[in-house]
Amino acid sequence: MSVDAQAGAYARVPPGVVHRFSNLSDEPAGFLGLIVPGGFEMYWEELGEMMANEPSWPPADMGSVMALMAKYDTFPPPAA
């Protein structure tokens, strides 16, 4: 399923649904993501620190990334 959200639109992603955000246009775009209950914001903090401490991204060994994702109940989409 794909949702094309125009400026000012609202989209809800239920828990457990694999999803991503993308901008298919050449114009800059932004979004405001709200995650309830709180606490998930620390995932972004820890991921940012992890990225800053790696010589390249994604790292050759994804073990630490997968551990961080599991810590916050976040998982990559299944392989196609």
Per-residue model confidence (pLDDT) at position 61: 93
Per-residue model confidence (pLDDT) at position 65: 94
Residue whose tokens read 């392989």 = 79
Per-residue model confidence (pLDDT) at position 3: 85
Q: Is 68 left (phi over 0), alpha (psi -120 to 50) or beta?
A: alpha
Q: Which of 6, 13, 7 is nearest to 34 (CA)?
A: 13
**Residue 63 placed within a domain:** yes
The three-state secondary structure class of 66 is helix
**Residue 6 placed within a domain:** no
Per-residue model confidence (pLDDT) at position 31: 87
- Report the number of distinct structural domains present in the chain: 1
The segments of the chain whose pLDDT lies below 50 read none
**Residue 34 placed within a domain:** no
**Residue 80 placed within a domain:** no
Residues spanned by the domain of 50: 41-71
Per-residue model confidence (pLDDT) at position 15: 80
Angle among Cα 47, 79, 33 to the nearest 5 degrees reads 40
Per-residue model confidence (pLDDT) at position 2: 83
Per-residue model confidence (pLDDT) at position 21: 85
> What pTM value is reported for the model?
0.66
